[in-house]
Structure 1
Protein backbone atom coordinates (compact mmCIF):
# COMPACT_ATOMS: atom_id res chain seq x y z
CA UNK A 1 0.00 0.00 0.00
CA UNK A 2 1.47 3.37 -1.00
CA UNK A 3 1.31 6.37 1.30
CA UNK A 4 -1.62 8.06 -0.44
CA UNK A 5 -3.77 4.93 -0.14
CA UNK A 6 -2.67 4.49 3.49
CA UNK A 7 -3.62 8.07 4.43
CA UNK A 8 -7.08 7.55 2.97
CA UNK A 9 -7.41 4.19 4.73
CA UNK A 10 -6.36 5.75 8.05
CA UNK A 11 -9.17 8.28 7.83
CA UNK A 12 -11.69 5.56 6.97
CA UNK A 13 -10.45 3.39 9.85
CA UNK A 14 -10.88 6.24 12.35
CA UNK A 15 -14.24 7.15 10.84
CA UNK A 16 -15.48 3.58 11.31
CA UNK A 17 -14.76 3.51 15.06
CA UNK A 18 -15.48 7.15 15.94
CA UNK A 19 -16.11 8.44 18.57
CA UNK A 20 -13.88 5.71 20.02
CA UNK A 21 -10.12 6.20 19.93
CA UNK A 22 -7.71 3.97 18.04
CA UNK A 23 -4.21 3.63 19.59
CA UNK A 24 -1.20 4.21 17.36
CA UNK A 25 0.07 0.67 17.98
CA UNK A 26 -3.19 -0.82 16.69
CA UNK A 27 -3.08 1.36 13.59
CA UNK A 28 0.54 0.38 13.04
CA UNK A 29 -0.36 -3.32 13.24
CA UNK A 30 -3.40 -2.81 10.99
CA UNK A 31 -1.37 -1.22 8.20
CA UNK A 32 1.88 -3.13 8.83
CA UNK A 33 4.01 -0.05 9.44
CA UNK A 34 5.87 1.38 12.42
CA UNK A 35 4.25 3.51 15.12
CA UNK A 36 6.50 6.37 14.01
CA UNK A 37 5.10 6.09 10.47
CA UNK A 38 1.55 6.24 11.83
CA UNK A 39 2.41 9.36 13.82
CA UNK A 40 3.87 11.03 10.71
CA UNK A 41 0.80 10.11 8.68
CA UNK A 42 -1.57 11.47 11.34
CA UNK A 43 0.45 14.69 11.48
CA UNK A 44 0.22 15.05 7.70
CA UNK A 45 -3.55 14.55 7.81
CA UNK A 46 -3.93 17.10 10.59
CA UNK A 47 -1.88 19.65 8.64
CA UNK A 48 -4.12 19.10 5.62
CA UNK A 49 -7.20 19.95 7.69
CA UNK A 50 -8.57 16.53 8.66
CA UNK A 51 -10.09 16.93 12.20
CA UNK A 52 -8.11 14.23 14.00
CA UNK A 53 -7.08 14.76 17.60
CA UNK A 54 -5.17 12.75 20.19
CA UNK A 55 -7.10 11.53 23.21
CA UNK A 56 -4.87 10.91 26.28
CA UNK A 57 -5.25 8.13 28.83
CA UNK A 58 -4.87 4.38 29.06
CA UNK A 59 -7.60 3.87 26.46
CA UNK A 60 -6.60 6.89 24.44
CA UNK A 61 -5.40 7.19 20.90
CA UNK A 62 -6.41 9.05 17.77
CA UNK A 63 -10.02 10.16 17.20
CA UNK A 64 -11.77 11.56 14.15
CA UNK A 65 -14.21 14.38 14.95
CA UNK A 66 -17.85 13.22 15.10
CA UNK A 67 -18.87 15.77 12.48
CA UNK A 68 -16.88 13.73 9.96
CA UNK A 69 -18.72 10.47 10.72
CA UNK A 70 -22.06 9.00 9.70
CA UNK A 71 -24.90 8.86 12.23
CA UNK A 72 -25.54 5.43 13.83
CA UNK A 73 -26.92 2.88 11.38
CA UNK A 74 -29.67 0.56 12.60
CA UNK A 75 -29.00 -2.55 10.53
CA UNK A 76 -30.57 -5.73 11.84
CA UNK A 77 -28.42 -8.89 12.04
CA UNK A 78 -30.39 -10.36 9.11
CA UNK A 79 -29.76 -7.25 6.99
CA UNK A 80 -26.03 -7.42 7.69
CA UNK A 81 -25.93 -11.11 6.73
CA UNK A 82 -27.87 -10.31 3.55
CA UNK A 83 -25.15 -7.80 2.65
CA UNK A 84 -22.50 -10.42 3.46
CA UNK A 85 -24.20 -12.96 1.16
CA UNK A 86 -24.32 -10.46 -1.70
CA UNK A 87 -20.64 -9.64 -1.22
CA UNK A 88 -19.80 -13.33 -0.96
CA UNK A 89 -21.20 -13.94 -4.44
CA UNK A 90 -19.15 -11.04 -5.79
CA UNK A 91 -15.90 -11.76 -3.96
CA UNK A 92 -13.93 -12.07 -7.18
CA UNK A 93 -15.18 -8.83 -8.70
CA UNK A 94 -13.54 -5.40 -8.99
CA UNK A 95 -12.99 -3.66 -5.63
CA UNK A 96 -13.78 -6.89 -3.75
CA UNK A 97 -11.14 -6.17 -1.09
CA UNK A 98 -12.77 -2.80 -0.39
CA UNK A 99 -16.15 -4.50 -0.10
CA UNK A 100 -14.75 -6.85 2.55
CA UNK A 101 -13.31 -3.87 4.41
CA UNK A 102 -16.70 -2.12 4.32
CA UNK A 103 -18.38 -5.23 5.71
CA UNK A 104 -15.89 -5.45 8.61
CA UNK A 105 -16.59 -1.81 9.46
CA UNK A 106 -20.33 -2.40 9.33
CA UNK A 107 -20.13 -5.33 11.76
CA UNK A 108 -17.71 -3.43 14.03
CA UNK A 109 -20.16 -0.52 14.30
CA UNK A 110 -23.01 -2.76 15.50
CA UNK A 111 -23.77 -3.06 19.22
CA UNK A 112 -22.10 -6.22 20.63
CA UNK A 113 -25.34 -8.30 21.03
CA UNK A 114 -26.51 -7.62 17.46
CA UNK A 115 -22.99 -8.20 16.12
CA UNK A 116 -22.81 -11.58 17.85
CA UNK A 117 -26.23 -12.53 16.45
CA UNK A 118 -25.13 -11.55 12.94
CA UNK A 119 -21.94 -13.65 13.22
CA UNK A 120 -23.95 -16.64 14.48
CA UNK A 121 -26.43 -16.37 11.59
CA UNK A 122 -23.62 -15.96 9.04
CA UNK A 123 -21.94 -19.12 10.35
CA UNK A 124 -25.05 -21.09 9.41
CA UNK A 125 -25.14 -19.90 5.80
CA UNK A 126 -22.83 -21.43 3.17
CA UNK A 127 -22.41 -20.41 -0.45
CA UNK A 128 -21.56 -22.99 -3.09
CA UNK A 129 -19.87 -21.01 -5.87
CA UNK A 130 -17.05 -21.57 -8.32
CA UNK A 131 -15.90 -18.06 -9.25
CA UNK A 132 -13.30 -17.34 -11.86
CA UNK A 133 -9.99 -16.40 -10.17
CA UNK A 134 -9.56 -12.63 -10.06
CA UNK A 135 -6.16 -11.90 -11.67
CA UNK A 136 -3.55 -10.08 -9.60
CA UNK A 137 -3.12 -7.44 -12.30
CA UNK A 138 -6.67 -6.33 -11.51
CA UNK A 139 -5.44 -4.41 -8.47
CA UNK A 140 -3.16 -2.34 -10.71
CA UNK A 141 -6.02 -1.75 -13.14
CA UNK A 142 -8.35 -0.69 -10.30
CA UNK A 143 -5.81 1.93 -9.19
CA UNK A 144 -5.38 3.21 -12.75
CA UNK A 145 -9.15 3.60 -13.13
CA UNK A 146 -9.36 5.34 -9.76
CA UNK A 147 -6.46 7.69 -10.50
CA UNK A 148 -7.43 8.10 -14.19
CA UNK A 149 -3.96 7.08 -15.39
CA UNK A 150 -2.76 5.40 -18.59
CA UNK A 151 -1.92 1.69 -18.26
CA UNK A 152 0.96 -0.17 -19.83
CA UNK A 153 0.06 -3.84 -20.25
CA UNK A 154 1.51 -7.01 -21.76
CA UNK A 155 -1.42 -8.79 -23.40
CA UNK A 156 -1.71 -12.28 -24.84
CA UNK A 157 -4.34 -12.74 -27.54
CA UNK A 158 -6.34 -15.89 -28.24
CA UNK A 159 -3.54 -17.20 -30.50
CA UNK A 160 -0.98 -16.86 -27.72
CA UNK A 161 0.81 -13.88 -29.27
CA UNK A 162 1.89 -11.21 -26.75
CA UNK A 163 2.11 -7.46 -27.30
CA UNK A 164 2.94 -4.51 -25.06
CA UNK A 165 0.34 -1.76 -25.23
CA UNK A 166 -0.56 1.54 -23.66
CA UNK A 167 -4.25 1.69 -22.81
CA UNK A 168 -6.48 4.55 -21.70
CA UNK A 169 -8.72 2.56 -19.30
CA UNK A 170 -12.40 3.41 -19.10
CA UNK A 171 -14.52 0.63 -17.58
CA UNK A 172 -14.56 -2.87 -16.13
CA UNK A 173 -17.14 -5.12 -17.76
CA UNK A 174 -18.60 -8.45 -16.79
CA UNK A 175 -18.96 -10.83 -19.71
CA UNK A 176 -21.72 -13.37 -20.25
CA UNK A 177 -19.08 -16.11 -20.25
CA UNK A 178 -18.12 -15.39 -16.65
CA UNK A 179 -14.92 -13.49 -17.46
CA UNK A 180 -13.95 -9.96 -16.46
CA UNK A 181 -12.71 -7.49 -19.06
CA UNK A 182 -11.03 -4.11 -19.26
CA UNK A 183 -12.36 -1.78 -21.96
CA UNK A 184 -10.25 1.15 -23.07
CA UNK A 185 -8.63 3.05 -25.90
CA UNK A 186 -5.66 1.03 -27.19
CA UNK A 187 -2.94 3.35 -28.48
CA UNK A 188 -1.29 0.56 -30.44
CA UNK A 189 -4.48 -0.08 -32.47
CA UNK A 190 -5.75 3.51 -32.21
CA UNK A 191 -9.19 2.19 -31.39
CA UNK A 192 -11.39 0.82 -28.61
CA UNK A 193 -10.31 -2.64 -27.48
CA UNK A 194 -11.59 -5.22 -24.97
CA UNK A 195 -8.93 -7.01 -22.89
CA UNK A 196 -9.76 -10.19 -20.99
CA UNK A 197 -8.19 -9.86 -17.55
CA UNK A 198 -6.81 -13.39 -17.38
CA UNK A 199 -4.86 -12.71 -20.59
CA UNK A 200 -3.09 -9.66 -19.20
CA UNK A 201 0.33 -10.98 -18.17
CA UNK A 202 1.56 -7.76 -16.62
CA UNK A 203 0.10 -4.31 -15.87
CA UNK A 204 1.78 -1.07 -14.84
CA UNK A 205 0.14 2.21 -13.88
CA UNK A 206 1.97 5.10 -15.53
CA UNK A 207 2.16 8.72 -14.34
CA UNK A 208 0.32 9.98 -17.44
CA UNK A 209 -3.25 11.20 -16.99
CA UNK A 210 -5.77 9.29 -19.10
CA UNK A 211 -8.17 11.27 -21.33
CA UNK A 212 -11.90 11.01 -20.73
CA UNK A 213 -13.97 8.86 -23.09
CA UNK A 214 -17.73 8.66 -23.50
CA UNK A 215 -19.25 5.41 -22.22
CA UNK A 216 -21.92 5.62 -24.94
CA UNK A 217 -19.32 4.92 -27.59
CA UNK A 218 -17.85 2.01 -25.63
CA UNK A 219 -21.23 0.33 -25.14
CA UNK A 220 -21.72 0.37 -28.93
CA UNK A 221 -18.26 -1.05 -29.58
CA UNK A 222 -18.59 -4.03 -27.23
CA UNK A 223 -22.01 -5.66 -27.86
CA UNK A 224 -21.05 -9.05 -26.37
CA UNK A 225 -20.41 -7.82 -22.84
CA UNK A 226 -22.50 -6.23 -20.12
CA UNK A 227 -21.20 -2.95 -18.73
CA UNK A 228 -20.39 -3.33 -15.02
CA UNK A 229 -22.07 -0.27 -13.51
CA UNK A 230 -23.47 0.48 -10.05
CA UNK A 231 -26.01 3.19 -9.28
CA UNK A 232 -25.17 4.57 -5.83
CA UNK A 233 -27.77 7.35 -5.98
Structure 2
Protein backbone atom coordinates (compact mmCIF):
# COMPACT_ATOMS: atom_id res chain seq x y z
CA UNK A 1 0.00 0.00 0.00
CA UNK A 2 1.15 3.56 -0.68
CA UNK A 3 1.73 5.89 2.24
CA UNK A 4 -1.54 7.75 1.55
CA UNK A 5 -3.50 4.52 1.41
CA UNK A 6 -1.81 3.22 4.56
CA UNK A 7 -2.63 6.41 6.44
CA UNK A 8 -6.24 6.25 5.28
CA UNK A 9 -6.61 2.58 6.28
CA UNK A 10 -5.17 3.33 9.73
CA UNK A 11 -7.63 6.23 10.04
CA UNK A 12 -10.45 3.86 9.04
CA UNK A 13 -9.32 1.36 11.69
CA UNK A 14 -9.26 4.12 14.30
CA UNK A 15 -12.82 5.12 13.40
CA UNK A 16 -14.07 1.53 13.60
CA UNK A 17 -12.62 1.26 17.11
CA UNK A 18 -14.43 4.35 18.39
CA UNK A 19 -18.02 3.14 18.13
CA UNK A 20 -19.93 -0.06 17.59
CA UNK A 21 -21.16 0.43 14.00
CA UNK A 22 -20.60 2.84 11.10
CA UNK A 23 -22.53 3.21 7.88
CA UNK A 24 -20.53 3.22 4.67
CA UNK A 25 -21.70 6.77 3.96
CA UNK A 26 -20.52 8.04 7.34
CA UNK A 27 -17.10 6.46 6.88
CA UNK A 28 -16.78 7.85 3.36
CA UNK A 29 -17.65 11.34 4.64
CA UNK A 30 -15.15 11.13 7.52
CA UNK A 31 -12.37 9.89 5.22
CA UNK A 32 -13.32 12.15 2.31
CA UNK A 33 -13.45 9.23 -0.14
CA UNK A 34 -16.10 7.31 -2.04
CA UNK A 35 -18.08 4.42 -0.58
CA UNK A 36 -16.33 2.15 -3.10
CA UNK A 37 -12.95 3.17 -1.63
CA UNK A 38 -14.28 2.42 1.86
CA UNK A 39 -15.20 -1.10 0.70
CA UNK A 40 -11.69 -1.65 -0.70
CA UNK A 41 -10.10 -0.41 2.54
CA UNK A 42 -12.36 -2.68 4.57
CA UNK A 43 -11.10 -5.59 2.47
CA UNK A 44 -7.50 -4.51 3.19
CA UNK A 45 -8.23 -4.57 6.93
CA UNK A 46 -9.68 -8.07 6.62
CA UNK A 47 -6.55 -9.23 4.79
CA UNK A 48 -4.52 -7.91 7.75
CA UNK A 49 -6.57 -10.03 10.16
CA UNK A 50 -9.11 -7.50 11.43
CA UNK A 51 -12.58 -9.10 11.73
CA UNK A 52 -14.88 -6.51 10.13
CA UNK A 53 -18.53 -7.48 9.73
CA UNK A 54 -20.73 -5.81 7.15
CA UNK A 55 -24.50 -5.71 6.68
CA UNK A 56 -26.02 -5.10 3.25
CA UNK A 57 -28.93 -2.83 2.44
CA UNK A 58 -29.88 0.76 3.16
CA UNK A 59 -29.39 0.36 6.92
CA UNK A 60 -26.22 -1.70 6.52
CA UNK A 61 -22.92 -0.80 8.08
CA UNK A 62 -19.51 -1.96 9.27
CA UNK A 63 -18.25 -2.95 12.69
CA UNK A 64 -15.26 -4.63 14.26
CA UNK A 65 -16.13 -7.97 15.82
CA UNK A 66 -14.31 -10.49 17.95
CA UNK A 67 -12.06 -12.91 16.10
CA UNK A 68 -9.86 -15.87 16.94
CA UNK A 69 -6.82 -13.61 17.52
CA UNK A 70 -6.43 -10.12 18.95
CA UNK A 71 -5.31 -7.75 16.16
CA UNK A 72 -3.26 -4.61 16.89
CA UNK A 73 -5.13 -1.70 18.41
CA UNK A 74 -4.64 1.98 17.65
CA UNK A 75 -4.34 4.25 20.66
CA UNK A 76 -3.97 8.01 20.68
CA UNK A 77 -1.47 9.66 23.05
CA UNK A 78 -3.89 10.12 25.95
CA UNK A 79 -5.24 6.56 25.63
CA UNK A 80 -1.73 5.09 25.57
CA UNK A 81 -0.74 6.97 28.74
CA UNK A 82 -3.95 5.96 30.50
CA UNK A 83 -3.50 2.27 29.61
CA UNK A 84 0.16 2.23 30.69
CA UNK A 85 -0.55 3.84 34.06
CA UNK A 86 -3.57 1.59 34.63
CA UNK A 87 -1.53 -1.54 33.87
CA UNK A 88 1.07 -0.53 36.43
CA UNK A 89 -1.61 -0.40 39.11
CA UNK A 90 -3.84 -3.21 37.83
CA UNK A 91 -3.31 -5.65 40.70
CA UNK A 92 -5.68 -4.08 43.18
CA UNK A 93 -8.95 -5.95 43.68
CA UNK A 94 -8.51 -8.53 40.93
CA UNK A 95 -7.36 -12.11 41.30
CA UNK A 96 -4.50 -13.42 39.16
CA UNK A 97 -4.14 -10.37 36.94
CA UNK A 98 -0.76 -9.10 38.19
CA UNK A 99 1.47 -11.19 35.88
CA UNK A 100 -0.75 -10.59 32.84
CA UNK A 101 -0.71 -6.84 33.51
CA UNK A 102 3.10 -6.80 33.67
CA UNK A 103 3.39 -8.71 30.37
CA UNK A 104 0.97 -6.32 28.65
CA UNK A 105 2.82 -3.33 30.11
CA UNK A 106 6.15 -4.60 28.81
CA UNK A 107 4.72 -4.90 25.29
CA UNK A 108 3.17 -1.44 25.42
CA UNK A 109 6.23 0.33 26.81
CA UNK A 110 8.39 -1.29 24.14
CA UNK A 111 6.54 0.58 21.39
CA UNK A 112 5.64 3.80 23.23
CA UNK A 113 7.13 6.90 21.58
CA UNK A 114 9.88 8.47 23.68
CA UNK A 115 7.78 11.54 24.46
CA UNK A 116 4.99 9.36 25.90
CA UNK A 117 7.34 7.03 27.74
CA UNK A 118 8.70 10.03 29.61
CA UNK A 119 5.20 11.15 30.63
CA UNK A 120 4.28 7.66 31.84
CA UNK A 121 7.50 7.39 33.86
CA UNK A 122 6.94 10.81 35.40
CA UNK A 123 3.39 9.92 36.36
CA UNK A 124 4.40 6.61 37.87
CA UNK A 125 7.37 8.07 39.76
CA UNK A 126 5.10 10.58 41.42
CA UNK A 127 2.29 8.21 42.30
CA UNK A 128 2.38 5.96 45.32
CA UNK A 129 0.12 3.05 46.14
CA UNK A 130 -0.23 0.79 49.12
CA UNK A 131 -1.34 -2.82 48.74
CA UNK A 132 -3.03 -4.12 51.86
CA UNK A 133 -2.92 -7.88 52.01
CA UNK A 134 -6.33 -8.19 53.58
CA UNK A 135 -8.19 -11.48 53.34
CA UNK A 136 -11.39 -11.05 51.49
CA UNK A 137 -13.23 -11.53 48.19
CA UNK A 138 -11.52 -10.48 44.96
CA UNK A 139 -13.15 -10.16 41.56
CA UNK A 140 -12.42 -12.60 38.74
CA UNK A 141 -10.99 -10.67 35.74
CA UNK A 142 -12.74 -12.98 33.24
CA UNK A 143 -16.10 -12.36 34.90
CA UNK A 144 -15.40 -8.63 35.05
CA UNK A 145 -14.65 -8.60 31.32
CA UNK A 146 -17.79 -10.59 30.47
CA UNK A 147 -20.00 -8.27 32.50
CA UNK A 148 -18.35 -5.17 31.06
CA UNK A 149 -19.20 -6.31 27.52
CA UNK A 150 -22.82 -7.10 28.42
CA UNK A 151 -23.14 -3.68 30.07
CA UNK A 152 -21.75 -2.00 26.95
CA UNK A 153 -23.99 -3.96 24.58
CA UNK A 154 -27.09 -3.91 26.86
CA UNK A 155 -27.25 -7.69 26.57
CA UNK A 156 -29.35 -9.71 29.00
CA UNK A 157 -27.27 -12.12 31.08
CA UNK A 158 -28.05 -15.08 33.33
CA UNK A 159 -25.94 -16.17 36.28
CA UNK A 160 -25.94 -18.04 39.57
CA UNK A 161 -25.95 -15.77 42.61
CA UNK A 162 -25.26 -16.66 46.23
CA UNK A 163 -27.07 -14.35 48.65
CA UNK A 164 -25.75 -13.17 52.01
CA UNK A 165 -27.87 -15.95 53.55
CA UNK A 166 -25.82 -18.43 51.44
CA UNK A 167 -28.78 -19.28 49.22
CA UNK A 168 -27.98 -19.91 45.55
CA UNK A 169 -30.45 -18.78 42.87
CA UNK A 170 -30.38 -18.42 39.08
CA UNK A 171 -30.84 -14.79 38.06
CA UNK A 172 -31.68 -13.08 34.77
CA UNK A 173 -30.90 -9.40 34.45
CA UNK A 174 -30.22 -6.43 32.20
CA UNK A 175 -26.69 -5.30 33.18
CA UNK A 176 -26.20 -1.56 33.44
CA UNK A 177 -22.97 -0.57 35.20
CA UNK A 178 -19.99 -1.98 37.10
CA UNK A 179 -19.08 -0.05 40.24
CA UNK A 180 -16.13 -0.54 42.60
CA UNK A 181 -16.63 0.40 46.25
CA UNK A 182 -14.80 -0.47 49.44
CA UNK A 183 -12.56 -3.05 47.76
CA UNK A 184 -15.53 -4.86 46.20
CA UNK A 185 -16.99 -4.86 42.69
CA UNK A 186 -20.74 -4.60 42.14
CA UNK A 187 -22.96 -5.14 39.11
CA UNK A 188 -25.87 -2.73 38.90
CA UNK A 189 -28.58 -4.44 36.87
CA UNK A 190 -32.33 -4.57 36.35
CA UNK A 191 -33.61 -7.97 37.47
CA UNK A 192 -36.06 -9.11 34.79
CA UNK A 193 -37.89 -11.55 37.07
CA UNK A 194 -38.35 -9.10 39.95
CA UNK A 195 -38.81 -6.11 37.63
CA UNK A 196 -36.61 -3.97 39.86
CA UNK A 197 -33.07 -2.68 40.17
CA UNK A 198 -30.66 -4.97 42.01
CA UNK A 199 -27.04 -4.77 43.16
CA UNK A 200 -24.95 -7.95 42.80
CA UNK A 201 -21.52 -8.50 44.33
CA UNK A 202 -19.19 -9.97 41.73
CA UNK A 203 -17.57 -12.41 44.17
CA UNK A 204 -21.01 -14.01 44.61
CA UNK A 205 -21.67 -14.40 40.87
CA UNK A 206 -20.82 -17.60 38.98
CA UNK A 207 -21.65 -19.26 35.65
CA UNK A 208 -22.43 -15.94 33.94
CA UNK A 209 -23.85 -16.53 30.45
CA UNK A 210 -24.77 -13.78 27.96
CA UNK A 211 -28.06 -14.65 26.26
CA UNK A 212 -27.48 -12.85 22.97
CA UNK A 213 -30.65 -10.80 23.49
CA UNK A 214 -30.10 -7.05 23.52
CA UNK A 215 -32.47 -4.50 24.96
CA UNK A 216 -32.77 -0.73 24.91
CA UNK A 217 -30.69 1.06 27.57
CA UNK A 218 -32.64 1.49 30.78
CA UNK A 219 -32.10 4.84 32.57
CA UNK A 220 -30.78 4.54 36.12
CA UNK A 221 -32.88 6.33 38.75
CA UNK A 222 -31.31 9.73 39.29
CA UNK A 223 -29.12 9.31 36.17
CA UNK A 224 -26.06 8.68 38.37
CA UNK A 225 -25.09 4.97 38.71
CA UNK A 226 -22.38 5.61 41.34
CA UNK A 227 -24.71 7.68 43.54
CA UNK A 228 -27.48 5.12 43.14
CA UNK A 229 -25.14 2.28 44.14
CA UNK A 230 -23.90 4.31 47.13
CA UNK A 231 -27.47 4.87 48.31
CA UNK A 232 -28.27 1.16 47.95
CA UNK A 233 -25.14 0.15 49.85
CA UNK A 234 -25.88 2.54 52.69
CA UNK A 235 -29.45 1.18 52.94
CA UNK A 236 -28.46 -2.47 52.68
CA UNK A 237 -28.82 -4.57 55.86
CA UNK A 238 -25.60 -5.43 57.67
CA UNK A 239 -24.75 -8.10 60.20
CA UNK A 240 -23.44 -5.69 62.86
CA UNK A 241 -24.99 -2.29 63.67
CA UNK A 242 -22.84 0.63 64.84
CA UNK A 243 -23.94 4.27 64.61
CA UNK A 244 -21.79 7.07 66.02
CA UNK A 245 -22.87 10.61 66.82
CA UNK A 246 -19.71 12.60 66.21
CA UNK A 247 -18.89 16.00 67.72
CA UNK A 248 -17.55 17.40 64.47
CA UNK A 249 -18.94 18.71 61.16
CA UNK A 250 -19.62 16.10 58.49
CA UNK A 251 -17.05 17.65 56.12
CA UNK A 252 -14.38 17.33 58.83
CA UNK A 253 -15.07 13.61 59.24
CA UNK A 254 -15.36 12.99 55.49
CA UNK A 255 -11.94 14.54 54.91
CA UNK A 256 -10.32 12.11 57.37
CA UNK A 257 -12.09 8.84 56.54
CA UNK A 258 -12.37 7.62 52.95
CA UNK A 259 -15.33 5.95 51.31
CA UNK A 260 -18.12 7.10 53.62
CA UNK A 261 -20.45 8.15 50.77
CA UNK A 262 -24.02 8.37 52.11
CA UNK A 263 -23.09 6.73 55.45
CA UNK A 264 -22.30 10.18 56.85
CA UNK A 265 -25.11 12.64 57.54
CA UNK A 266 -24.93 16.11 59.13
CA UNK A 267 -27.07 16.73 62.21
CA UNK A 268 -26.15 20.42 62.50
CA UNK A 269 -23.12 22.52 61.63
CA UNK A 270 -21.14 21.08 64.58
CA UNK A 271 -22.37 17.47 64.73
CA UNK A 272 -22.88 14.56 62.35
CA UNK A 273 -24.02 10.93 62.35
CA UNK A 274 -21.74 8.19 61.07
CA UNK A 275 -23.22 4.79 60.22
CA UNK A 276 -20.27 2.44 60.67
CA UNK A 277 -22.42 -0.71 60.45
CA UNK A 278 -20.75 -3.57 58.61
CA UNK A 279 -20.61 -7.34 58.18
CA UNK A 280 -16.99 -7.29 59.38
CA UNK A 281 -16.30 -6.34 63.03
CA UNK A 282 -12.65 -5.31 62.50
CA UNK A 283 -13.78 -2.93 59.74
CA UNK A 284 -16.15 -1.21 62.19
CA UNK A 285 -13.28 -0.79 64.66
CA UNK A 286 -11.07 0.59 61.88
CA UNK A 287 -13.69 3.15 60.82
CA UNK A 288 -14.26 4.35 64.38
CA UNK A 289 -10.51 4.51 65.01
CA UNK A 290 -10.27 7.05 62.19
CA UNK A 291 -12.31 9.57 64.18
CA UNK A 292 -10.16 12.26 65.77
CA UNK A 293 -12.88 13.78 67.91
CA UNK A 294 -15.34 12.72 70.63
CA UNK A 295 -18.41 10.65 69.76
CA UNK A 296 -21.14 8.55 71.34
CA UNK A 297 -21.95 5.09 70.04
CA UNK A 298 -25.16 3.17 69.55
CA UNK A 299 -24.13 -0.40 68.65
CA UNK A 300 -25.07 -4.06 68.89
CA UNK A 301 -23.65 -6.08 71.82
CA UNK A 302 -21.26 -8.03 69.60
CA UNK A 303 -19.80 -4.74 68.35
CA UNK A 304 -19.31 -3.50 71.91
CA UNK A 305 -17.61 -6.77 72.89
CA UNK A 306 -15.28 -6.61 69.93
CA UNK A 307 -14.33 -2.99 70.64
CA UNK A 308 -13.69 -3.77 74.33
CA UNK A 309 -11.52 -6.77 73.43
CA UNK A 310 -9.58 -4.61 70.97
CA UNK A 311 -9.04 -1.91 73.62
CA UNK A 312 -7.90 -4.47 76.22
CA UNK A 313 -5.39 -5.99 73.79
CA UNK A 314 -4.05 -2.53 72.98
CA UNK A 315 -3.73 -1.59 76.66
CA UNK A 316 -1.94 -4.87 77.41
CA UNK A 317 0.41 -4.34 74.49
CA UNK A 318 1.54 -0.90 75.66
CA UNK A 319 1.61 -1.69 79.40
CA UNK A 320 5.06 -1.09 80.79
CA UNK A 321 6.26 0.86 77.75
CA UNK A 322 8.00 4.12 78.66
CA UNK A 323 6.12 7.32 77.94
CA UNK A 324 7.75 9.63 75.45
TM-score where L is the length of structure 2: 0.38
The offset of 1:106, in angstroms, is 6.4
Q: Distance in 1 between matches of 2:193 and 2:93?
A: 29
How does 1:24-63 map onto structure 2 within 5 Å? 39=47, 41-42=49-50, 44=52
State the partner residue of 1:197: 202
Q: Distance in 2 between matches of 1:154 and 1:63?
A: 35
State the partner residue of 1:175: 181
Contact 1:156/1:199 (CA < 8 Å) preserved in 2? yes
Residue 129, structure 1, aligned to residue 131, structure 2: yes
Residue 184, structure 1, aligned to residue 185, structure 2: no
The offset of 1:115, in angstroms, is 4.1
Q: Distance in 1 between matches of 2:146 and 2:203?
A: 13
State the partner residue of 1:164: 170
Paired residues in the alignment total 169
Q: Distance in 1 between matches of 2:189 and 2:72?
A: 41
Tell me how large the CA RMSD over aligned residues is: 5.2
In structure 2, do the counterparts of structure 1 residues 121 and 166 end up closer, same or farther at CA, with 3 Å as the change threshold?
A: closer
In structure 2, do the counterparts of structure 1 residues 184 and 104 end up closer, same or farther at CA, with 3 Å as the change threshold?
A: same
The offset of 1:134, in angstroms, is 2.2
Residue 109, structure 1, aligned to residue 115, structure 2: no
In structure 2, do the counterparts of structure 1 residues 40 and 86 end up closer, same or farther at CA, with 3 Å as the change threshold?
A: closer
Q: Which moved more, 1:164-173 or 1:135-144?
A: 135-144
In structure 2, do the counterparts of structure 1 residues 206 and 172 end up closer, same or farther at CA, with 3 Å as the change threshold?
A: same
State the partner residue of 2:146: 140
Unaligned runs of 5+ in 2: 1-12, 18-45, 55-60, 64-70, 235-324
**Offset from partner CA, 1:42-68 (integer Å, 9 cap, x none):** 48589x889xxxxxxxxxxx999xxx9
In structure 2, do the counterparts of structure 1 residues 43 and 147 end up closer, same or farther at CA, with 3 Å as the change threshold?
A: closer
In structure 2, do the counterparts of structure 1 residues 122 and 207 end up closer, same or farther at CA, with 3 Å as the change threshold?
A: same
Q: Distance in 1 between matches of 2:124 and 2:195?
A: 49
Unaligned runs of 5+ in 1: 1-10, 16-37, 51-61, 227-233
TM-score where L is the length of structure 1: 0.51
State the partner residue of 1:223: 231
Q: Distance in 2 between matches of 1:224 and 1:143?
A: 24
Contact 2:150/2:156 (CA < 8 Å) preserved in 1? yes
**Offset from partner CA, 1:118-173 (integer Å, 9 cap, x none):** 67996998844147622232221111112220111111101111111110011112
Q: Distance in 2 between matches of 1:211 and 1:49?
A: 21
State the partner residue of 1:30: none
In structure 2, do the counterparts of structure 1 residues 184 and 102 end up closer, same or farther at CA, with 3 Å as the change threshold?
A: farther
If asked which structure has higher relative contact order (CA below 8 Å, sep 6+), I would say: 1
State the partner residue of 1:149: 155
Contact 1:181/1:197 (CA < 8 Å) preserved in 2? yes
Q: Which moved more, 1:195-204 or 1:214-223?
A: 214-223
In structure 2, do the counterparts of structure 1 residues 163 and 215 end up closer, same or farther at CA, with 3 Å as the change threshold?
A: same
The offset of 1:87, in angstroms, is 5.2
